[in-house]
Amino acid sequence: MLKIGIVGGTGRLGSLIIKAVLEDEECVAGAVIGRTGNRYVGRDICELAGGAATGVTVVDNLQEAAGCDCFIDCTNAEVCLKNNYEWYLRMKKPLLIASTGFDKAGMDKLRELSASMPVLQAGNFSMALHDFLETIRHMAGKMRVKADISIIEYHHNQKKDAPSGTAEMIRDAVCDANPLYTKEDIAISSVRGGGIVGEHMVLFAYHDEIIELRHRVSSRDTFAYGALKVCKWLAARENGLYELKDFFG
């Protein structure tokens, strides 16, 4: 059984990942780590995920998770690099990072980390998103006339980063597929409101025609179950820095 450590397990995504792990027959929750002072520290993880008591309690120190086989970090870029990085370097276990906000220097740090372990960072683990991105690449690559391209992304009012990591993935997909476009050519608009889980619309505007492509998520469960699938895959990989496209082949 694969022992998974969930770092940042007391947050929205983290608690859903715990639930997904508890339902999975191939893995167990080896440890759940929350920040010092969090009200769940010392309490059974079932209080986060529901169900019967598990005997696993939330801890506030990564050192107590040394027995895990791999880790899912769903904190944020700052916490991952400042608080967790050195522990990951010592433990040398496969690491899935389910958060965005890493600048070039941050990605360089992850690249250094990947020399000692398999590392994959992504901001969206929706399985359908892969097909959406492939559709966008196909569309952008086949364009005979250059259009004005805009990305509009919608998320809940507690989301801190803007634009979203997914919106940036969409922009990169267009640029990779069509050399006529640079990042500066593609406008991204961010909307934050209520409890919106996530929605991304790509608008191709021609002189007097418009094409719209849209991806909408109705439940955060899809991110949790997707992250778990990718984590199990990553646990069997060699050292290196991976992307979601490696998982999808």
Look at residues 143, 162, 145, 146 and name the one whose alpha carbon lies nearest to residue 154: 162
Active site residue 155: yes
Active-site residue among 159, 160, 183, 200? 159
CA distance 57 to 45: 6
Amino acid at position 131, single letter: D
Whether 229 sits among the annotated catalytic residues: the reply is: no
CA distances from 121 to 109, 124, 187, 220 (A): 12, 9, 24, 18
Alpha-helical segments (H) within the chain: 12-23, 46-49, 77-79, 85-91, 104-113, 127-142, 165-177, 221-234, 244-248
Dihedral pair phi/psi, residue 212, rounded to 5°: -120, 135
Which one of 3, 19, 93, 155 is the catalytic residue?
A: 155
Residue 168: which of 228, 96, 102 has the closest Cα?
A: 102
Bridge partner residues of 199 (DSSP): 154, 216
How many CA atoms does the CB half-sphere of 238 hold within 13 Å? 0
Location of structure tokens 């059984």? 1
Specify the residue for token string 């899912």: 72
> Could you tell me the two tokens for 119?
């590392």
The half-sphere exposure of 74 on its side-chain side, counting CA atoms within 13 A, is 25
Instruction: Tell me the catalytic residues.
Output: 155, 159
